[in-house]
Chain A
Amino acid sequence: MVDTTKNTLVYTTWGPKSAKPVNPITISKLVSKAKRPLLVAGSELMKDEVMLEKAVAIASKGIPVAATGHSIKGFLDKGVEAKYNNIHSLAHFLGDKNWTGLDGKGGYDLILFFGHKKYYLNQVLSGFKNFTDLKTIAIERHFMQNASFSFGNLKPDLHVEALDELIENL
């Protein structure tokens, strides 16, 4: 069992409410219990083949993928279905109760974020935190204080281990 909750050091803070640091197994349970989970996968995945493989593995567990930036190319190259979305627009739509989702079947109750720049994702999450009821989970290498749940700060090898454990338990 990988402990991903130890280091939650931040250099700047958004305010009093911060993400709950969690272990991979907790995230697996949250995702498995969700009715309509969504993986929002970012372009940082395109810089690291190992990370892209992990995202593909998560998608292959039946979680729909909103591919932001140019990460869509990575998924399509690997034969995985994904829909392109600009992350800022997507965040706007996700907060709209009338939006019918990527498949026209309705909104989502849990959003998993992976493959994003730290500062950018924290801003997007800040919007969710302040203006929606959505549960957000960050499985990045850095602690994302504006998510509902997040991994802590991890060294690269521990991050890979944590992702493997998460995928295994999905």
Chain B
Amino acid sequence: MNKNNRIKSLLLLVFTIIGFLFPVIRNDPYTLSLLLIIFVFIVAAVGFRLIYITGRLTIGQAAFMGVGAYTSALLSLNFGINPWLGLLIGGIAAGILALGIGYIVLRVGGVYFVIITLCLAEISKLFWLWWRPVTYGNSGLIDVPGFSIASFQFGINKIPYYYLSLIIMLVALFVMYRMERSRIGIALHALGQNDVLAEHLGINRTRYRVLAFTTASFFCGVVGSFYAHYIHFVHPDQFGVMPSIMIQIYGIAGGIGVFFGPIVGSFVVAGLTEFLKIAKEFQPLIYGPLLVIIMLFLPKGLIGLPQMFFKSSKK
């Protein structure tokens, strides 16, 4: 157990160092831009899992990315609010919204909750389309300002964006990891496995589910805001049902049972997507079956692969 933890910590350290050194080793804008988007989705997918462990499956997380993106983009465009501050405000806006919605919808479980969050994703998209005087509807928001430090503009250089995305991801992962590892995480897991018993041991089920939902959505808001200031363009289509489903696919394909599952899933599936880009509109045709295959043959997700291999080779 202890040895296992040490190996895990070591692996983490190695990956973090690789993460920081990567642009030095390979300063290739294409790869960097791919990676920094993967970091964005990792945050959302790990958040998806944080909610999942409390026994609630959401397919609406992209809606909160949208809230972060629009909030921060609009504030910077209309009021000149600094994007750095926008990151935080975008996160807070998404968090507050999740808090309000969560208190109502987290009470229902099972397939009802899934459908509600699905609707949420779609409604949020329709809202951005509808609120034309502010969001410019289907035209989207253009020329969203980028980040700068003092007089240094991030501009079109991928490297600073890469590092910002990496740091945001690491902070988000750290917070969610700590949450799961703490006493709070025990309560979250307990709710997911048997909420009636958990409640009879004094765990307020709505409060803890709202906590997970709000935390995950706050970080979705932050990365949504980052995304807006990175590509300088915000459009309702970026935050509908499809990206929400992608977040879910990353989480489940990677392995929803463990913290690092969605991280692996994001790398592999998003990497694969890039690889499949030639297929364009046929991508879903490949995703769908892929997810089915993973769920059928890898109940623990991709992260369960080495373990399965290890076990069968030991026999």
| Real binding pair | no
Query: Interface of B with A (CB < 8 Å)?
Result: none
Query: Interface of A with B (CB < 8 Å)?
Result: none
